[in-house]
Amino acid sequence: LAKTTQPISMDSYEGQEVNITCSHNNIATNDYITWYQQFPSQGPRFIIQGYKTKVTNEVASLFIPADRKSSTLSLPRVSLSDTAVYYCLVGPHSGTGGFKTIFGAGTRLFVKA
Amino acid sequence: NAGVTQTPKFQVLKTGQSMTLQCAQDMNHEYMSWYRQDPGMGLRLIHYSVGAGITDQGEVPNGYNVSRSTTEDFPLRLLSAAPSQTSVYFCASSYSTSGESYNEQFFGPGTRLTVL
């Protein structure tokens, strides 16, 4: 499984755009990139998933360059409630081989007023 | 749908005791998994299952057993609790829309386990 590297922590202010970059140099051909958000005392919650180029949903965008060795989660106009830990996961989607996923330490985002 | 439910929410055990953490999902997901999360750390995969009757080990399986007799339930058994197993345990489920790829995982609220 591809190992991921993220910044340990980031600070931001309300209303700003936040970009969290994840490095995954050993990503395999059939690996997808998935981001989760976790609040204290809660289980992780899915944010966004992609394979290549750009993916956008109602809460975030995911930018993946052509070589797929990194990805960037973009959170537009963050609010205090976006303070959480964000995890980048890289792993295969295999119906027969299993769905092993590895959560790293994540990035602790702290949004200030 | 209740989603993924876990019981109990809190548990205190003495060293050497055994217990079962329950996990159930009502979304008919074929994939289920168990993670543990130690303070300030990411989640580590303990065991997972891609369907009833099929289980496999994750990153940290020692000291834990699982079984999957139904699609809905995926209990985690601690055979002989140790203080090193003090952690928060999360159960998750996922589904495949194509038979080849899985989508996002849905996590339960967690069980906080303390082993004295």
Mean pLDDT for the stretch of residues A101-110: 86
Residue-level pLDDT at A97: 44
Q: Which residues of A touch B (CB under 8 A)?
A: 32, 34, 36, 41-46, 49, 87, 93-96, 98-106
> For residues B26 and B72, is the Cβ–Cβ distance under 8 A?
yes
Residue-level pLDDT at A105: 81
Chain mean pLDDT for chain A: 89
Give the one of A43, A44, A95 whose C-beta lies nearest to B100's C-beta. Answer: A95
Beta-carbon neighbour count of residue A23 at 10 Å?
17
SS3 label, residue A81: helix
> How many Å lie between the alpha carbon of B34 and the closest alpha carbon of chain A?
11
Residue B90 contacts A where some CB pair is shorter than 8 Å: yes
Residue-level pLDDT at B54: 92
User: Would you say residue B9 has pLDDT above 80?
Assistant: yes
Q: How far apart are CA B28 and CA A78, in angstroms?
A: 34
User: Would you say residue A94 has pLDDT above 60?
Assistant: no
> For residues A33 and A52, is the Cβ–Cβ distance under 8 A?
no
Residue-level pLDDT at B105: 87
User: Would you say residue A42 has pLDDT above 70?
Assistant: yes
pLDDT in tens, B49-101: 988 999 999 889 999 999 999 999 999 999 999 999 999 999 999 887 665 55
Residue B74 contacts A where some CB pair is shorter than 8 Å: no
C-beta atoms of A93 and B100 within 8 A: yes
Residue-level pLDDT at B1: 76
SS3 label, residue A82: helix
Residue of B96, B102, B106, B112 to mutate, testing the A interface (most A Cβ within 10 Å of its Cβ)? B102
pLDDT in tens, A2-40: 688 999 999 999 999 999 999 999 888 888 899 999 999
Residue B60 contacts A where some CB pair is shorter than 8 Å: no
pLDDT in tens, B14-46: 999 999 999 999 999 988 999 999 988 888 999
User: Would you say residue A95 has pLDDT above 60?
Assistant: no
Of B94, B36, B84, B61, whose CA–CA distance to A43 is shortest? B36
Residue B44 contacts A where some CB pair is shorter than 8 Å: yes
In chain B, the N- to C-terminal Cα span, in Å, equals 36
Tokens of A30: 């059939």
Interface A:B, Cβ pairs < 8 A:
65
